[in-house]
Amino acid sequence: MDYTKLIEVMRQLAIEAGDKIMEIYNSDDFEVKTKSDASPVTEADEAADALISAGLRAAFPDVMLVTEEQAATHSTTGDTFLIVDPLDGTKEFVNRRGDFTVNIAYVEGGVPTRGVVYAPAKERMFFTLADGSSVEEEGPFNAATPGKTSAIRVSDADNGALMVVASKSHRDQATDDYIGKYDVKDMKSAGSSLKFCLVATGEADLYPRVGRTMEWDTAAGHAVLAGAGGKVVRFDDHSPLVYGKADYANPFFIAYAPGVELKPA
C-alpha cells in the first residue's frame, strides 16, 4: 500500500463527504429511515457512502472494501481491507447534536493502521500520517489542500484523577459500574468515534465501551488512537481488539492511554 496516497485520498474523501453531510444537516428537513436492525439511516449516510466508496474503489480497486451502508460488503472476508462508516453517530445527526463523524480506515492483518476521523459540525479533523503517527488538522478544511497539522499524543494518565469519556447515546448502568472502579476526576460524554480522538489528544484517559459496536464504528478512531500512543483491548480479557471478524461485530472494549492501570471486567 502507498500510504502517502492512501492518506491523501482518505482525507480528501472525508472532507468532501463532510461537506455533503453538512448540506443536508443544515437543510430545513431530511428523511430518516429505519434499517433492518432498527437503527436510523438518513440521506446523508447514503450520499456520503456513495461518494466515499466510489472514491476508494477508483483509487484502490484491488483492496477489499467494507462499508456500513452496503450490506453486500458485509459478507466479504479477509484481514486486510478498507472500512467505512460514512456517518457515525446518526442519532446525533438526527437530533442535531453535532457529535457525528466520517470514518475511513485501513486494516492490515487485523489491525487498523491508518485512519481518518472528521467531525464536520465540530470542525475537528484527526488522521494518521503515512508513517502511522497521528495529527489533528486545523480548520477551515479544504479537500484539495491540507491545512496546518499538530502531532497528538495520549496523556500521561494520573490514576488518582482520571478523565473518562463515555457514549452520549448508549450510556448504561454496566458502563457506570465499570467506571466506578476508577478514581475519576472528570467525566464527559461524546458521540461517535470522537471518543477515541479525545483519548488520542489527551483530553480523556479512558473510554470503556460496554455495548454493541461494529468494526466500521471503531476502526478509524482505533487507528488514530494507536498512532497517538494509545491502546484498544477487549473488555473481558484485555487482549488486543482485532478486526476482520466474521460478522464485523466487536466485543465490548476499552480504549485508553497506556498509563491507565486497567481494572478487571
Assign 148 to helix, strand or coil. Answer: coil
Q: Which CATH architecture has domain 162-256?
A: 3-Layer(aba) Sandwich (3.40)
Residue 241: predicted pLDDT = 98
Give the separation between CA 49 and CA 30, rounded to whole angstroms: 16
- Cβ–Cβ under 8 Å, residues 139 and 123: yes
Which residue in 25, 49, 46 sits closest to 35, CA to CA?
46
Domain 3-151 superfamily per CATH: Fructose-1,6-Bisphosphatase, subunit A, domain 1 (3.30.540.10)
Domain spans in the chain, listed from the N-terminal domain onward:
3-151, 162-256
pLDDT digits (tens, 9 = 90+) for 202-234: 999 999 999 999 999 999 999 999 999 999 999
Q: pLDDT-derived band of residue 168, with 50, 70 and 90 as boundaries? A: confident
> Is residue 100 predicted with pLDDT exceeding 80?
yes
* Percentage of residues in the chain having pLDDT higher than 90: 88
Annotated binding site: 68, 85, 87-90, 217
Which residue in 84, 70, 39, 128 sits closest to 218, CA to CA?
84
Annotated binding site for substrate: 68, 87-90, 217
Annotated binding site for Mg(2+): 68, 85, 87-88, 217
